[in-house]
Amino acid sequence: MRLQTKQLITPVLSILLAFLGSAAIIALTGRNPLVIFQKMSRAIFGSPYGLGQVLFRLGTLSLVGLAVAVPYRLRLFNIGGEGQLQMGAFSAAIAGAVLPGFFPGPAAAFICILAAMTAGASWALLAGALKVRFGINEVISTIMLNFIAQGITGYFLTYHFALPSTVHTAPVASGAFIPQLDSFTGLFNGSPANASIILSLGAALFFQFLLFHSRYGFEMRAAGLQAEASDYGGIDTARHILTAMAAGGAAAGLGAANIVLGYKHYYELGMTDGTGFTGIAVALLAGANPLLVVLTALFFAMLEYGGLSVNAYVPKDIFMIIQALTIFLVIGFNAARKK
C-alpha cells in the first residue's frame, strides 16, 4: 500500500487547524503566538541536543503508536499501550538487573528486549483472549489492564525491587545498555537519543510489509472488514485477533527498550508518564498506517519537547490542547467523509 496524497490531507489539515486554534489560545494568554512558535522551533532545530530529545521521544511514541495501529487494522481498539509499555519496561529492568555483569553485551541487550516484548505481548494477548473466548470488548479490558499493570508494577517495585530510599530498581547490567547515538556518530551530544531508534523504524517497516505486502496481512485486514465472510472463506478470525493484539503489545514492550536500556538504565515509578496514551493519538492521526505512524510520532515528539522548552512563557498544557484538537479534527473529518 503506497502512501497517497489523499491519505495525507486529513492529518495535515487537522494539524494546521489545531495550530490555529492553539495560536488563538496563546494570544489570549497575552503572548505572541508567532514568537512562541519561533522559540519552539529554535529549541528543536537550533541545537543537536534539541533534535536528540525529539528523536528520543520519537522512538517510544512510534512503537506505542504501532501498538494501537496494528490491532486497529482488525477493527480492534487497543487502549492498553500504557499498561503494555509499563509491563515491558519493568520486565526489561528486572531482567537486566539480575544478569551477571560479565554477560556478553549483545546477548544481554537481546535478553532484556525479549523480556520487554514478551511482557507487552502477553499483557495484550490477555485482552485478545478475553475477546475471543468471552466476547469481552477489548476497549474495556485493555483500559482495566492498564490499571492492573500500574498496580502490579507499583507493588513489586515498592515492596520487592526498589533500592533503599528510592523509587527505582537496581541498574541493568552495563552490557545491556543500548549505546547513545553521540557515542558512535558524534551527533546529538548530551541528549538521550540512542540506537533503539533503529528498532523503532525497523518495526514500522516490518508492520508495513506484513499488513500490506503479505498474504497474512491481507487475511488480517479482510477479517477486520468482514469477520463473518472471512470465517466463511476459511480465514481464522480468532487467530488473527490474538496475533494482532500480541503483535501490538510486543511493539509497546519494545518501546521500553528506548527508555530503560537506552536512557534510564533502570525502572522507576511513573517513568512511562502517559506515553502509551499518546500512542492512541499517534495511531489515529496516522490512519493506522505504520509508515505514517513514524511521521505523526515525530509531530507529537516535537510538540512534547517544544512545549517543555517554552514552558516559562506559556503553560505546556496548551500543547496538549493541540494534540487533543488534532485528534478531534481527524475524527470529525473521517466521520464527515463517510457520510
pLDDT-based confidence at 102, cuts 50/70/90? low
Phi-psi region of 160 (alpha: psi -120 to 50; beta: other; left: phi over 0): alpha
pLDDT at 51: 95
Average pLDDT of 57-77? Answer: 96
The domain limits of the chain are 5-338
pLDDT at 212: 93
Return the C-alpha cell found at 271: 517513568
Is residue 310 pLDDT above 70, yes or no?
A: yes
pLDDT at 338: 66
Selection from 268, 249, 250 nearest residue 260 by Cα: 268
Return the C-alpha cell found at 318: 496548551
Average pLDDT of 283-305? Answer: 92
Find out whether 97 and 168 touch, Cβ atoms under 8 Å: no
304/121 Cα distance (integer angstroms): 27
pLDDT at 5: 60
- If one counts every other C-beta atom within 10 angstroms of the C-beta of residue 272, the result is 28
pLDDT-based confidence at 70, cuts 50/70/90? very high
Residue count (the chain): 339
DSSP alpha helix (H) spans, 213-272: 215-225, 227-232, 237-256
Predicted TM-score (pTM) of the model is 0.93
pLDDT at 196: 94
Q: Would you call 46 helix, strand, or coil by DSSP?
A: coil
pLDDT at 339: 62
Which of 41-55, 78-92, 97-111, 237-251 comes out lowest in average pLDDT?
A: 97-111
pLDDT at 229: 79
Residue written as grid cell 543500548: 178
Selection from 90, 85, 87, 93 nearest residue 109 by Cα: 93
Mean residue pLDDT of the chain comes to 90
Cα-flanking dihedrals φ and ψ of residue 180, to 5°? -70, 150
Average pLDDT of 135-161? Answer: 96
Domain 5-338 maps to which CATH number in 1.10.3470, 2.60.120, 2.60.40, 1.20.1070?
1.10.3470
Return the C-alpha cell found at 97: 538487573
pLDDT-based confidence at 18, cuts 50/70/90? confident
pLDDT-based confidence at 16, cuts 50/70/90? confident
pLDDT higher for 290 or 6?
Answer: 290
